[in-house]
Amino acid sequence: MSDRPHTPPADLVTPAATGNAAAFSAGTDNVFARVAGRYDRLCDIFSLFVHRIWKSRMAARIAALRAGTILDVASGTGHIPLRVQRIMRKRPGAAAPEKLLVTDLCPEMLAIARENLGDSDPWLEYAIMDAHRLDSVESGSVDLYSISFAMKICDRGPVLREAMRVLKPGGVFFCLEAARIPNGFLHAAYLKYMDWCLPVIGRIAANGDPAAYGYLLHGIHEFPSQTRFADELASHGFEDVRFENMTLGIVALHTARKPHGSRPAENP
């Protein structure tokens, strides 16, 4: 775990300019609709099953906070909500959230999330939502915002502004994302390995659909380091910005808080 300075470096571009690491646009490529049925298997293959550990750790941290309203953005097939649900079911009497909103832009992914999570928990809700414009979510209505492995395929500036808008003052932000191994030599070796390995296994596992691993590879290369992303969070007004490296720093779990004193922003 690392405490970050709350003041971003002077050379950091304005929040509005923070970009899309994978150069992905859902409007021009429906790759997630194409791979929805194979998404879970692809995650296991691409990460050698380790994504399960990263996501379980994030879900445990989320469940421990006992937040009232949780918004999981870009939920995919529901990996984070599923783990939160499992934790609730294992702890009889544990206070479930008032609401856990499971959301994604891609209906095919969200349909699988709903199949996986079911409709028996009254606190689970499902909605199609674009992380860049959470129009149906009221300003200052969310206690905990979470996003895993989707920040790199989104425009970070608008996504972070929306996260800040929908959170209540004092609300918590969680983001699990690709990061940089602090040892530069190891990180370069890791990238070389991914450059070689992902296209080979990706071509087989994704039925020759290069987009299924292309965005991932691009995003891994271009997503800012954990310290840089922490500074971006601070530059968007988040406080108590921290990150925890996982598996040497291949990924990092970022957490931050909307300042207690902030007034809720208007809906756009």
Ligand X SMILES: C[S@@+](CC[C@H](N)C(=O)[O-])C[C@H]1O[C@@H](n2cnc3c(N)ncnc32)[C@H](O)[C@@H]1O
d(CA 51, CA 36): 17
Q: What is the DSSP string of 41-109?
A: HHHHHHHTTHHHHHHHHHHHHHHHTT-SEEEEES-TTTHHHHHHHHHHHHSTT----SEEEEEES-HHH
Of 153, 198, 234, 250, the one binding ligand X (CB under 6 A) is 153
Q: Are strands 251-257 and 167-178 parallel, antiparallel or unpaired?
A: antiparallel
Instruction: Please identify, using beta-carbon distances, which residue of 116 and 262 lies nearer to ligand X.
Output: 116
Is position 32 an interface residue for ligand X (rule: CB under 6 A)?
Answer: yes
Q: Which residues 192-231 are close enough to bind ligand X by CB under 6 A?
A: none
Of 18, 75, 235, 255, the one binding ligand X (CB under 6 A) is 75
Instruction: Please identify, using beta-carbon distances, which residue of 135 and 195 lies nearer to ligand X.
Output: 135
Is position 132 an interface residue for ligand X (rule: CB under 6 A)?
Answer: yes
Q: Site mask, ligand X, residues 111-130, x = CB under 6 A?
A: -------------------x
Of 26, 62, 164, 217, the one binding ligand X (CB under 6 A) is 26
Nearest CA among 120, 89, 117 for reference residue 102: 117
Q: Which residues 44-63 are close enough to bind ligand X by CB under 6 A?
A: none
Instruction: Please identify, using beta-carbon distances, which residue of 21 and 26 lies nearer to ligand X.
Output: 26
d(CA 248, CA 254): 15
| # chain residues binding ligand X, by CB under 6 A | 21
Q: 32: phi > 0 → left, psi -120 to 50 → alpha, else beta; which?
A: alpha
Is position 105 an interface residue for ligand X (rule: CB under 6 A)?
Answer: yes
d(CA 103, CA 74): 6
Is position 131 an interface residue for ligand X (rule: CB under 6 A)?
Answer: yes
Work out the number of other CB atoms within 10 angstroms of the CB of residue 220. Answer: 22
CA 97 to chain centre: 19
Is position 148 an interface residue for ligand X (rule: CB under 6 A)?
Answer: yes
Of 126, 145, 149, 213, the one binding ligand X (CB under 6 A) is 149
Work out the number of other CB atoms within 10 angstroms of the CB of residue 136. Answer: 11
Q: Which residues lie below 8 Å from residue 210, measured CB to CB, with a gap of 6+? A: 199, 202, 203
Is position 150 an interface residue for ligand X (rule: CB under 6 A)?
Answer: yes
Q: Are 219 and 225 in contact (CB under 8 A)?
A: no
Is position 154 an interface residue for ligand X (rule: CB under 6 A)?
Answer: yes
Of 18, 21, 79, 251, the one binding ligand X (CB under 6 A) is 79
Is position 106 an interface residue for ligand X (rule: CB under 6 A)?
Answer: yes
Cβ at position 11, least distance to ligand X in Å: 28
Is position 104 an interface residue for ligand X (rule: CB under 6 A)?
Answer: yes
Instruction: Please identify, using beta-carbon distances, which residue of 31 and 234 lies nearer to ligand X.
Output: 31
Cβ at position 93, least distance to ligand X in Å: 28
Q: Are 123 and 97 in contact (CB under 8 A)?
A: yes
Interacting residue ranges for ligand X, rule: CB under 6 A = 26, 32, 43, 73-76, 79-80, 104-106, 109, 130-132, 148-150, 153-154
